[in-house]
Amino acid sequence: MKLQYVFAVIFLQLLARVSLAQSIKVEKDRFPGTKKLEVKSFNGCCAQKGYRAIYVFDSIGRAIKSYNYFKRKLLAAYEYRYNERGLLSEKKSVFDINKNAQNDYSKFIYKFDTIGRLVNKTEQHGNWVYITLFTDFDYLNNAKTVIRILSENAFLDKNKFDSLGQLIHTQSWANDTLVYTEEIKYNAFGDIVYSYIPTLQDKETGKRIMMLGGNRHWYEEAYVYTYDEQNRWVEKYVVYNNKKVLMEKRAYK
């Protein structure tokens, strides 16, 4: 597999699973009644103790601003805008400690079929154009087949969902090569409590294959949460390889 092709695989996986690298999913997560959320990171593979993020929400709980810090030093700040359907339409960097904010702008364009299902999503990240096509819908209108296109490379995702519409199994293929598999389980609050990615396991050593980005510790992980009186999690622990460590704390304001 050519080096450029490998980088394309990595880039697509990181875009498709950006939730591994940030605490909340800006595109989907909503926090009604919350004006601000502070997230502190602990023991993350790419977010060690001292990193924190602050999200600011609008009146219906959508993130409109975010700030990333290391201890008291501001590293980056972003603004988010949404279209008439409430979908994320723009992500703009307004501060970058490396002074590259003017080059960090993302635009999101959506197309729908005649019954309102999302069938095409185009993301423009600087010079990158990333297209996602959604087909083969189930009875809850979840796309069981997803095609991701970056430059001349295309990847196929096959998804399975439970009766609540939660993604429980996904496979990603590049041509005839399986590049990613994940099995997922949830608790009663809709939070992920188990994730198994066998494609991250080195079959010879039994150890985790090095993966860029995110907070992944092991190919098989369980998650334990502490909740507040409104059933919002305030602490998240990861259990892996006979270890249990604190990953994040949340403070809702």
CATH of residue 179: 2.40.160
Q: Which domain holds residue 128?
A: 3-252
Number of domains in the chain: 1
The model's pLDDT over 128-165, given as tens digits with 9 standing for 90+, comes to 899 999 999 999 999 999 999 988 889 999 999 999 99
Read off the pTM: 0.86
Mean pLDDT of 35-39: 96
Specify the long-range contacts of residues 107-116, CB closer than 8 Å, at least 24 apart: 110/83, 110/85
Q: 10 Å Cβ neighbour count for 221?
A: 19
Q: Once rounded to an integer, what is the mean pLDDT over residues 171-176?
A: 90
Report in angstroms the alpha-carbon separations of 180 from 16, 52, 174, 216, 223.
Answer: 11, 29, 9, 14, 21
Q: Which of 61, 23, 16, 58 is nearest to 39 (CA)?
A: 23
Cα(165)–Cα(31) distance, integer angstroms: 20
Report the percent of the chain where pLDDT is more than 90: 67
